[in-house]
Amino acid sequence: MPHSPHPNQVRAAEPHSEAAIAWSSVANLATSYRNGSLTPTRVAEVLLDRIERLNPSLNAFAAVLPDLVLEHADRAGKELAAGIDRGPLHGVPIGVKDLMGVEGWPTSFGSTVAPVLAASEDAALVARLKEAGAVIIGKTALLEYAYGAVHPDVGPTRNPWNLEQTAGGSSGGSAAALAAGLMPLALGTDTGGSIRIPAAYCGVVGLKPTFGRLPVDGIFPLSWSLDAVGPMARTLPDLRTFFEVLEPTSKDIRASIEGRRFGIPQDYITQTDVAPELAALFRNVTAALRAAGATVREMSFQSMAHANQVLVDILRPEATVIHDQNIRSIGSSKGAGAQYSGATFAQLRSGYAVPATVYIAARQQQDRLKQQFAELMKDFDALLMPSVGFVAPAEDPGVDDPAGAAEMHFSGPFNVLGVPALSMPLGLIGGMPVGLQLVTAHGEDLAAVELAIAVDACAEPRAQQARPAGY
């Protein structure tokens, strides 16, 4: 079983060996492509071989089409050789959550409800990536329709740090593949933490952008009012490069720590159980920020205390309406409900029981919370808190389970608020990663990434984290 070594045990690989390619940064790939020491085809071949060997134990990919991957990698290499340079992601392999359309690729949604058909067109962000010269390496696995449950015919995605623990959801396939060195970048979606939770569990980074900042066209929805699509990566510099391509209007920002104002919502943190070791790691980071000249102070988050209930009151009926036709047709056939997992089917049916008055009140409360949060953030550049209060459990908890509420405690409010929220590695507890969440004001997405980079540098030497053994 893979386990985590001490960071000092990770040794540099020989240049352009399998290990060097698998763990190469986006910037290093770009340099190697342009100086001719590597080609996109060579990188794709190495990663496809790793996926073939390692995915059976991880279940991180729902679909991989080697011939198509190599065709696109070869095209990217020929373009670069001919002087056609599409930018920093040209020839870079990227995984796409299997909720998004990729032309010619099957989409299963982590379920057996719908026929698995090849998409006729690309989702908007996938089209943007292809225009940037990126190579789609595979469709990554997810919880069924991103709604918090594993379909038994699909199976769970396992965590590379410990195969007996989950990679998290719903973007667990993307996080696990990144952590296992199967690609440098991935796209995920996030309705209540589905990028940030698996990023924390797997020791990678992920950004839930401002609501509506990145287009969701061509992505099967879970909740129209909460869904976001965003970048995931192994490192923060790679995440910055990725986001700047996805959202090319982003301003150039380089943040420093001195003089920055960080808020710690201590009253909200203490409302749920946080592992003592995680709390200690968190205190270490805040102490390092103070030592570097930042202002770090506790602030009240009490006005947001019921945000996750607002999320659930919005999510349930919206998800049910989206699946209504399938629910009704499945419900009319004996035993056909098994096409959804039992947990997903129960969650979807529960949406019918939410009164319209409750849903409308929740939407109104969402608007009020957004206004209150905007006022609160006038005093801070960013908020800091755990991404999740514990390490990855053995199985993904259900949305209705108390453990599910605890898992979503720190992530859910920021879907309701629609603001940028980023998870970055905080350290290891018993060989398993935990995450630090950084939140900025509405529209300050790139500032969140830049502040995270500055926080990470300030917190050294903790930031240089080992990767899972055996990968």
C-alpha dihedral sign at 141, 146, 152, 157 = positive
| Average pLDDT of the chain to the nearest whole number | 93
Query: What band does 389 get if pLDDT is binned at 50, 70 and 90?
Result: very high
Query: Which three-class secondary structure string do you get for 323-354?
Result: HHHHHHHHHCCCCHHHHCCHHHHHHHHHHHHC
Q: Per-residue pLDDT tens for 94-108? A: 999 999 999 999 999
Query: What band does 255 get if pLDDT is binned at 50, 70 and 90?
Result: confident
Q: How is 244-267 classified by DSSP, letter by letter?
A: HHHSTT-------STT-EEEE-HH
Query: What band does 357 get if pLDDT is binned at 50, 70 and 90?
Result: very high
Q: How far apart are CA 390 and CA 143, in angstroms?
A: 20
CATH numbers and ranges of domains, the chain: 1-7+15-471 (3.90.1300.10)
Q: Helices 236-246 & 124-131, crossing angle to 10 degrees?
A: 100
The string over 394-414, giving b where at least 16 C-beta atoms fall within 10 Å of a residue's C-beta and e elsewhere, is: eebbbbeeeebbbbbbbbbbb
Cα–Cα distances in angstroms (integers) from residue 192 to residues 212, 256, 378, 388, 408, in the given order = 15, 29, 24, 12, 7
Answer yes or no: are the C-beta atoms of 300 and 265 closer than 8 Å: yes
Q: Which of 167-176, 360-369, 431-440, 461-470 has the lowest mean pLDDT?
A: 461-470
Specify the DSSP element, H or E, that contains 199: helix 196-202
Structure tokens at 169: 């959801």
Catalytic site positions: 97, 170, 194
Answer yes or no: are the C-beta atoms of 178 and 234 closer than 8 Å: yes
Query: What band does 461 get if pLDDT is binned at 50, 70 and 90?
Result: low
* Average pLDDT of the segment spanning 314-335: 84
Answer yes or no: are the C-beta atoms of 252 and 454 closer than 8 Å: no
**3-class SS at 53?**
helix
Instruction: Return the ∠ at Cα 178 (arms to 390 and 432), rounded to 5°.
Output: 25
Instruction: Catalogue the E-assigned strands of 392-445.
Output: 421-429, 432-439
Q: What was the pLDDT predicted at 115?
A: 85
Selection from 88, 50, 43 nearest residue 69 by Cα: 43
Q: Per-residue pLDDT tens for 142-167? A: 999 999 899 999 999 999 999 999 99
Specify the DSSP element, H or E, that contains 174: helix 172-179
Q: What was the pLDDT predicted at 10?
A: 44
Structure tokens at 306: 């019921």
Where does residue 60 rank: exposed (0-12), middle (13-18), buried (19+ CB within 10 A)? buried
How many residues would you count in the chain? Answer: 471
Q: In terms of pTM, does the model score above 0.85?
A: yes
Where does residue 123 rank: exposed (0-12), middle (13-18), buried (19+ CB within 10 A)? buried
pLDDT at 440 over 80: yes
Beta bridge partners of 162: 159
Q: What was the pLDDT predicted at 250?
A: 59
